Structure 1
Amino acid sequence: MEALVVCGDKSLGAGITIWDMEKGEQLLHIPTCASPPHGLILLGDHFIVASQVHKHGSFGGGAVFIWPLNKPQVPIRSYPIEAIVPLSCTKDAIYLAGGAPSGNVYVWEVTSGKMLRTWRGHQKSLNCLSFSSDDSLLISGSDDGEIRIWSMISLLDVADHDSMPSFFHSLLEHSASITGLLSTSGSSNSVLVSSSFDGTCKVWDMISGRLLGTQVFTQSITAITHDPGEQLLFSGSTDGRIFVNSLDIGLGDNSVISDNHLMVLSGHMEPITALSFSTSRLCLVSASEDCTVCLWNVKSWVVTRRFVHKKGQITNLVVIPRSLLLPVVEGHQRFNCQSRLSLLDKYPQPATTSQETITHLPTYCSLEDHLSKIGFRSTDVIKQQILELEQGRTPCALQMKVETSVENRLWATKMTKHITDMNKHLRSRLLDLIRCRLILSRKLEFFSSEKKKKAKINSSSSPSRE
């Protein structure tokens, strides 16, 4: 069973609304939230993160709010140095990325709140941010139609912290603002799908940066998504229609295809603002400026349920498992990362030897490794690779070192917690012993005083008997 999370950007009072997708009833309402497009995400399996713009249309200031789904409480409010519009996070919920109207990009470590990197990513405002399917690349799209691909290993390199990072690729085929970025996980080509107000969706090879195909529409495209099998691409337009086409059409031959023979879903009266997919119900979820959310059956392509957002138009939607809203039973650990979060830093903190944190890098595949064909290699090449691996000069060796350091840190943390618990237990036992001794000493004093009283009484009554 899944739940639907939606929010708008017009009024802070509209907040976030969460519906049961099966029954259609409202499950939860979180007040005070107004997020721009691509500004609401699910962090791991237990937090909702939303960027906030203080005044609609003004990007002079803003905030980032974080709510725990299973424990309603006041959100963690962070106030970056400038407003953050798009947000994205890695699948393991370790890193959070945000983009600003100035073109700056920010990367934070989630649990500590430490800002790991900030740099001028684009000349125009950032509209979209997305991590690749393996979290090794960060993709950014700007208002001028440019898409840039950044290597996470380069961004997290402590030695290169103060220099301006260089992008992996710059994709310049779009002529208008970027409205959506999707990376596929099942393809060996590391495919990226982008949409734009120029009325096109483009398919790219992220490793080589080559354009593989273009889908041309008669309307500007405002949102995109694909099904879990990554076979179908859904493209929402400014006139409220949703186009459905195969994701592999023209893949590899840089072909241009029109929308003359595409399947079209018509159920909204205003521009599409967000698209998502429900894996349990196997239905497409669409939101529009007409303040409605539609659930589309993938077999009949009809609307099976319609939600009306009375608080105003919708800019973001997220589909989550309904179980995430249930409180955690005491003594059971449901999520795999720390449940405590810190405020996000305003500025990057300088790394020092005593305070330097070990950063877990995602699995990385270099361009040479990706393009090399499977075959026999000479003994000299193999020896050279073994030597480089032993000397730690390859990404794989770096990854193994980082993972080992992370494991050692986790073991040290666990042992520290164990020793702290033992210390608390011993202190508790010591207090109990002191308390028992005090009680025993008081009893002995009482018995001693009583004995003296009896002895005194006996001594005073002896002459009368004589």
Structure 2
Amino acid sequence: MSTSSRTEIVLVASPDGPITAHDPFSFGPPLARFSTATAAATIPRNGLALVGPRSVQLIAASHISPSTAACSVRLYSWWSPAPALSLPVPEPVAPVAATPDGPPHHLFCGGLSGRIHVLSLPSGDLCRPFTAHTHSVSCLAVNDDGSLLISASDDGTIAVFPIIHLLDEDPAVEVTSLYTISAHDAPITCITSGPGGCNAAIVSSSLDGTCKMWRLADGVRMRTLTFPCGLWCVTTDPIDSQLYTGGSDGKVYVVPLIKERVKEPTKRVIWESPHSSGGEVMAMVMANDNENIVTAYDDGAVKIWEVKSGLMISTFCVQGGSVSDLIVVRGSGVHGVGGSGVPVVSGFAERELQRKGSEVWELEKRLSEVREGRNRGLDLAEDAMDVYRRSPIRDSF
């Protein structure tokens, strides 16, 4: 069994191979492989998400069969390379995003029709779908306080929805966006939300060669950055001071966003490895307390960069020949992953951390019900006391 001393693990999805877990700072083999269960199923771009509480996070992955158009969302635990659950969806879906709080937890799945489907977990029940765009949904994001769903499309539009309205089961309640804006002249490839809840800034990238910054509260455009090629991914640091975007030319572009740090309005830095294979930058994520950027390429290469110096410090290749998505697992209590997908856990309550995800979610659900019942009981008691205080019977004692 291989182990890692790091508390961060990089998950890499390939359209033509398994999901693999890596220590980004080790040159060894993958820590774990998660099977797609069938060679005919592929994981599309933006098709990975983490679901559930940090101690028992599950990996959600959308799957599409190019030959049969069969589709599903599969959930993987760290305890097995095979899917723990396979959840059917009514149409092929690509991007997925999950609510941060629960239970229940909800997974949003963007369909090729422009509709978004909502799965309630762990039951897998399909909530009411709704139309978000006229073309395929290309990327989804949930803001940091879990109140808003941000959706982007191949038609160049961005739509923002209050999540509380999406979970309303009353069919008479129509699902409408907070706003929808025409954001880009080509498909939107990535969207990310910064800190600040509803007052955050969001950044979108597009094949039209631009990154744009928007005010999440009302969709007002704050800034436009133009690049010499189409863009596949974008991210910012935790304080929105630096923007990083990956181009179809294989380069990483770094742009300062805070005015005090911008000596020239167009000043930017370009990261390019000395032995570039020419692959397009398909995904990127910050790691190691935001000291590093991990980038993935369509030729299967994964590269780790040092943010401070802009130097590439390591690289490895994944099975499958290309990369469709990349995410980092942080702070889950997992210190390493065995070759079969078994985590190495240390510290307090090791036995509890090794419970199955479904067991923990069921316990959380029951605790939530107990809390709700207790609150209802307190409300009824307060109402009864209020009635007693106003009753004339009270004065006769």
Is the TM value for this pair above 0.5?
Answer: yes
**2:48 equivalent to 1:47:** no
**2:80 equivalent to 1:37:** no
**2:32 equivalent to 1:21:** no
Q: 2 CA distance for matches of 1:37 and 1:404?
A: 35
CA displacement at 1:211 relative to structure 2: 1.0
**2:335 equivalent to 1:323:** yes
User: Match for 1:112 among 113, 116, 123?
Assistant: 123
Q: 1 CA distance for matches of 2:9 and 2:34?
A: 14
Q: Which runs of 5+ in 2 are unaligned?
A: 1-5, 338-342, 377-397
Change (3 A) 1:261 1:166: same
CA displacement at 1:246 relative to structure 2: 2.0
TM-score of the pair, normalised by structure 2: 0.78
Q: 1 CA distance for matches of 2:75 and 2:374?
A: 25
CA displacement at 1:22 relative to structure 2: 2.6
Q: Give the match's secondary structure for 1:108.
A: strand
Q: How does 1:170-189 map to 2 (within 5 A)?
A: 170-186=180-196, 189=199
What is aligned with 2:13?
A: 7
CA displacement at 1:240 relative to structure 2: 0.6
Q: Give the match's secondary structure for 1:332.
A: helix
Q: 2 CA distance for matches of 1:312 and 1:336?
A: 33
Q: 2 CA distance for matches of 1:337 and 1:410?
A: 26
What is aligned with 1:198?
A: 208
Structure with greater strand share of residues:
2
Q: Which runs of 5+ in 1 are unaligned?
A: 251-256, 343-358, 360-402, 413-466
Change (3 A) 1:214 1:138: same
CA displacement at 1:166 relative to structure 2: 1.1
- Please say if residues 59 and 83 of structure 1, whose CA atoms lie closer than 8 Å, have aligned partners that are also in contact: no
CA displacement at 1:221 relative to structure 2: 1.1
TM-score of the pair, normalised by structure 1: 0.67
- C-alpha root-mean-square deviation of aligned residues, in Å? 3.0
Q: 2 CA distance for matches of 1:340 and 1:311?
A: 34
What is aligned with 1:66?
A: 75
**2:208 equivalent to 1:208:** no
Q: 1 CA distance for matches of 2:110 and 2:132?
A: 9
What is aligned with 1:265?
A: 271
**Alignment deviations for residues 210-231 of structure 1 (CA, whole Å, 9 cap, x no partner):** 1111111111111011223432
What is aligned with 2:97?
A: 88
CA displacement at 1:294 relative to structure 2: 0.4
Change (3 A) 1:406 1:158: farther
What is aligned with 2:167?
A: 156
Structure possessing the higher relative contact order (Cα contacts under 8 Å, 6 or more residues apart): 2
**Alignment deviations for residues 291-324 of structure 1 (CA, whole Å, 9 cap, x no partner):** 1000001122111110112421111111124537
Q: 2 CA distance for matches of 1:337 and 1:190?
A: 31
Aligned residue type for 1:313: S
- Please say if residues 35 and 82 of structure 2, whose CA atoms lie closer than 8 Å, have aligned partners that are also in contact: no
What is aligned with 1:245?
A: 255
- Please say if residues 62 and 84 of structure 1, whose CA atoms lie closer than 8 Å, have aligned partners that are also in contact: yes
Q: Give the match's secondary structure for 2:165.
A: helix
**Alignment length (residue pairs):** 340
Change (3 A) 1:74 1:197: closer
- Please say if residues 5 and 318 of structure 1, whose CA atoms lie closer than 8 Å, have aligned partners that are also in contact: yes
Change (3 A) 1:37 1:239: same
Aligned residue type for 1:185: P
Q: 2 CA distance for matches of 1:155 and 1:68?
A: 27
Q: 1 CA distance for matches of 2:176 and 2:198?
A: 25
Q: 2 CA distance for matches of 1:100 and 1:74?
A: 21
Q: Give the match's secondary structure for 2:164.
A: helix
Percent identical: 28
What is aligned with 1:230?
A: 240
Change (3 A) 1:331 1:18: closer
CA displacement at 1:106 relative to structure 2: 0.9
User: Match for 2:372 among 405, 408, 416?
Assistant: 408
Q: 2 CA distance for matches of 1:86 and 1:409?
A: 36
